[in-house]
């Protein structure tokens, strides 16, 4: 059973009920912050989609209200006040703050990978000064792989946030991702059956192969698809062994998540602080760091022994449970 499914009921019990939409901004409860941090840490590097799980968790906690929040004087609070170019302004909502929180606590997951793979980081830093050719090659490949998602993410940002940050979209992505994982496992089994397979390593990975992984990572902009899943599948397709495919995925995540987290913090971090408060943000980051480190350790060993199939089955079961929940709770 997934660690997420084991921890969710207990942590939900700690979380206070969300304040009514349109009310006074409240500090995020410690239980909310802890739950969101654990969900982020457990799911960020597992191929099950952290964004999808966080959207679901925000929905369960009642943090996805799009109603404008008001201050003590009853006036609407704004992220961006009305202007001649935008007469309606950008009202501050609990959903905006929660979506930003979900991204910012990725700092914890980033710290976990930096701690676990510090030798790789030192190698890349030495490569910049001409002291480690392999480290420089790895750094170049990570930047090549990062570029497609960076460009496409900026171009499609508004569409993604307006159309894809919903539970139905997550359900569709969970199913599509599961199908991709099962196909990738079958493809890999055929390529390795009965003969010694041609193997790529992180030291021999070519830039065009890194670009292919980066192009697949663009699919992870669809919440529920999973950045980890797309990059591990991409690693399979360029003949990386599961352990090295996971390691490249983690290191690429270090680059991608750092960029996304910094961008989101600058864009709407102030709104998040006004609604939730600093202490709970730090608690969420700490919980994400600890659980992400455990999840990374687990995934590396598990992939080498069992592959992706179990995660695909989990995604299908979760999608079915969410679809049933939507059906029974819809008006």
Mode of pairing for the β-strands spanning 78-80 and 90-91: antiparallel
**CA proximity to 67, closest of 125, 16, 18:** 18
138, 120 in Cβ contact below 8 A? yes
Please state the φ and ψ torsions of residue 29, each to the nearest 5 degrees.
Answer: -65, 150
95, 65 in Cβ contact below 8 A? yes
d(CA 207, CA 10): 45
Three-state SS string over the chain comes to CCHHHHHHHHHHHHCCCCCCCCCCCCCCCHHHHHHHHHHHHHHHCCCCCHHHHHHHHHHHHCCCCCCECECCCCCECEEECCCCCCCCCEECEHHHHHHHHHHHCHHHHHHHHHHHCHHHHHHHHHHHCCCCHHHHHHHHHHHHHHHHHHHHHHHCHHHHHHHCCCHHHHHHHHHHHHHHHHHHHHHHHHHHCCCCCCCECCCCCCHHHHHHHHHHHHHHHCCCCCHHHHHHHHHHHCCECHHHHHHHHHHHHHHHHHHHHHHHHHHHHHHHHHHHCHHHHHHHHHHHHHHHHHHHHHHHHHHHHHCCHHHHHHHHHHHHHHHHHHHHHCC
Q: How many residues does the chain have?
A: 331
pLDDT of the chain, 331 residues: tens digit per residue: 443 344 444 433 333 333 333 344 444 788 889 999 999 999 999 999 998 899 889 888 888 888 887 766 777 877 777 888 888 778 888 888 888 888 899 999 999 999 999 999 999 999 999 999 999 999 999 999 999 999 999 999 888 888 888 889 999 999 999 999 999 999 988 887 766 667 788 989 999 999 999 999 999 999 999 999 999 999 999 999 999 999 999 999 999 999 989 988 888 888 788 778 788 899 999 999 999 999 999 999 999 889 999 999 999 999 999 999 888 887 6
277, 30 in Cβ contact below 8 A? no
How many CB atoms neighbour CB 302 within 10 A? 16
d(CA 243, CA 18): 41
- Report the predicted TM-score, pTM, of the whole model to 2 decimal places: 0.83
d(CA 88, CA 204): 53
Return the pLDDT at 103: 87
d(CA 78, CA 90): 6
């Amino acid at each position: 059973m997934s660690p997420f499914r084991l921890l969710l009921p207990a942590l939900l019990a700690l979380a206070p009920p969300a304040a009514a939409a349109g009310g006074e901004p409240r500090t995020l409860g410690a239980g909310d912050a802890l739950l969101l941090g654990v969900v982020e840490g457990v799911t960020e590097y597992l191929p099950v989609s952290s964004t999808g799980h966080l959207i679901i968790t925000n929905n369960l906690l009642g943090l996805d209200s799009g109603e404008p929040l008001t201050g003590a004087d009853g006036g609407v609070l704004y992220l961006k006040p009305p202007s001649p170019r935008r007469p309606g302004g950008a009202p501050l909502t609990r959903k905006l703050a929660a979506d930003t929180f979900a991204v910012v606590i990725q700092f914890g997951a980033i710290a976990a990978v930096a701690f676990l793979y510090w030798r790789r980081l030192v190698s890349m830093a030495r490569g910049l000064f001409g002291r480690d050719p392999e480290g420089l090659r790895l750094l170049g490949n990570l930047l090549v792989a990062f570029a497609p998602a960076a460009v496409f993410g900026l171009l499609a940002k508004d569409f993604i946030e307006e159309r894809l940050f919903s539970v139905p979209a997550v359900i569709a992505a969970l199913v599509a991702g599961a199908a991709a994982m099962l196909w990738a496992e079958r493809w890999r089994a055929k390529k390795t059956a009965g003969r010694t397979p041609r193997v790529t390593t992180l030291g021999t990975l070519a830039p065009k192969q890194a670009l292919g992984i980066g192009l697949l990572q663009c699919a992870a902009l669809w919440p529920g698809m999973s950045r980890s899943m797309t990059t591990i599948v991409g690693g399979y397709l360029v003949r990386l062994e599961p352990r090295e495919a996971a390691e490249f995925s983690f290191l690429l995540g270090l680059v991608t998540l750092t960029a996304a987290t910094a961008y989101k913090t600058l864009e709407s971090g102030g709104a998040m602080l006004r609604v939730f408060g600093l202490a709970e943000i730090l608690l969420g980051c700490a919980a994400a760091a600890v659980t992400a480190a455990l999840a990374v350790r687990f995934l590396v060993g598990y992939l080498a022994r069992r592959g992706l199939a179990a995660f695909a089955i989990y995604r299908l079961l979760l999608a079915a449970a969410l679809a049933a929940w939507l059906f029974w709770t819809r008006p």
